[in-house]
Amino acid sequence: MATIEWTTDELAAAVEAYLQMRELEHRGEKYNKAAIQRMLVAGPIASRTSTEHRMQNISHVLSLMGLPWIEGYKPLPNVGSRTVEALQSIIRTYMAADAAPLPMYPPVAAETSRKLPPTGYWMFVCNRKVWDGEAWLRAPEDTLLYKVSDHNHAEVQAGDLGVLRINARRGNRAAAPVPASVYAVVEVLDAPRLQSDASGSHYSDKSDAEAVTWRAPLKLLGNLVEKPVAVDDLPDDGEFVHFRMPLMTSTIPISRRAFSEVYHRAGLTRPNLTDEQKAATPAGIKMLELEASKADPIRRSRISKYIERGPIGRKVKEIRGCRCQICEALGFEPIAFHRKNGMPFAEAHHVQPVSLLMPGTLGASNVMVLCPNHHRQAHLGNFEVLEDGRHHWRISIDGRVLPLSKTVL
């Protein structure tokens, strides 16, 4: 019986859980692999019976990309080229400098009968008749204690992410109507507890604040009160349907795509990105280029090493099949040799030295794919770049002039 290919959504769900486990491992926190796999097959990957091999495939792809993988998932290379390409694309999307952050933990497993299982991303719904969210956001405190629906209280976790949606307001003689909009992006700081809200500020009825109910502390990641994201401006498809509905609930799970859409429309950027993380994507490279011009010599050297060893060069080599561009131009065998794992070997030569950190030196168009011999010759031998054009180089090697094309990501 033929194996049914995994969908992009299934692969993305596996990658998201994998990256969350990898971050937990990096921080030294324990996690339950079996529980996370049960969550996946109970919800996002319900058509599969196991994710163990797929997680090992993700380790294999990360190793191909030169990125760290989880020790508990030994790389397993028995995966088709199309799936490898799909996984690489998904991983780059999640790790992009402009990508929305991930929740701290994978979501808890829910009953298969649940129509809306937890995702780690939430919409917190504000009823204007109960609580004046706009007034609170104009003079916010450090954290906000927010009500969680009874049926979600065991699913909301510390480190989950969400958006605060405030219902529409009808217009009157004193004020114009206000559409339903997203007014904030938030992070859950702790699991919900049965408690009242001692502050009581901005409640229309103090008894709502005094009621002992499930509440969780939220931290503001983005305050959009001066420029909220109207729900009618969001995409008109199923993943955003609950943004437009008049909801009678305090919390509802939303997809990563929905959260990311609001995150990007709000103009937010991921906090505390390291130089190494920025070096992993073209968008991050551009950020480093801007920062490098003002960096001190020590940081400039560090940025240079991240770029030189980073995934931009690996991606260019991948696109070109690890074939030496000079050998190809000369009509020689372009593959220097194959590694023990069967993958061809090549090196990335930065035509303009990365250490200069000038605009353009950090991108793909500055990377030439060479075999080890020609790479050494480019640095030490009879080699000269005669022309550095927009789409090509013209080089001289041992007195012979050759045109070489540039790679575009």
**Cβ(168)–Cβ(175) under 8 Å?**
no
- The pair phi, psi for residue 51, each rounded to 5°, is -120, 0
Euclidean distance between CA atoms 237 and 63, whole angstroms: 36
Q: In terms of C-beta density within 10 A (0-12 exposed, 13-18 middle, 19 or more buried), how is residue 205 classed?
A: exposed
Please report the pLDDT score of residue 274 as a whole number.
66
HSE-up of residue 248 (Cα within 13 Å, Cβ side): 0
Alpha-carbon distances of 189 from 121, 176, 182, 195, 214, rounded to whole Å:
13, 35, 20, 15, 14
Of 367, 400, 368, nearest to 386 by C-alpha is 400
Query: What separation, in Å, do the N-terminal and C-terminal C-alpha atoms of the chain show?
Result: 38
Structural domains in the chain plus CATH codes? 8-95 (no CATH), 121-265 (3.10.590.10), 275-405 (no CATH)
Of 263, 243, 261, 262, nearest to 253 by C-alpha is 243
**Cβ(282)–Cβ(409) under 8 Å?**
yes
Of 302, 313, 278, nearest to 355 by C-alpha is 302
**Which runs of consecutive H residues, i.e. helices, occur in 65-219?**
81-95, 133-138, 206-210
Please report the pLDDT score of residue 328 as a whole number.
95
Please report the pLDDT score of residue 355 as a whole number.
62
pLDDT in tens, the chain (409 residues): 345 788 999 999 999 999 999 988 877 888 888 889 888 887 778 777 778 899 999 999 998 887 888 988 999 988 888 999 999 999 988 987 778 889 999 998 877 667 888 999 999 999 888 888 998 999 888 789 999 999 999 999 999 999 999 998 887 776 778 889 999 999 999 999 999 998 888 888 888 999 999 999 999 988 999 999 999 999 988 889 999 988 789 999 999 999 999 998 888 766 666 666 666 655 566 666 667 666 777 776 666 665 555 567 777 888 888 999 999 999 999 999 998 777 899 998 988 876 665 656 667 788 899 999 999 999 999 999 999 988 899 999 999 999 999 987 6
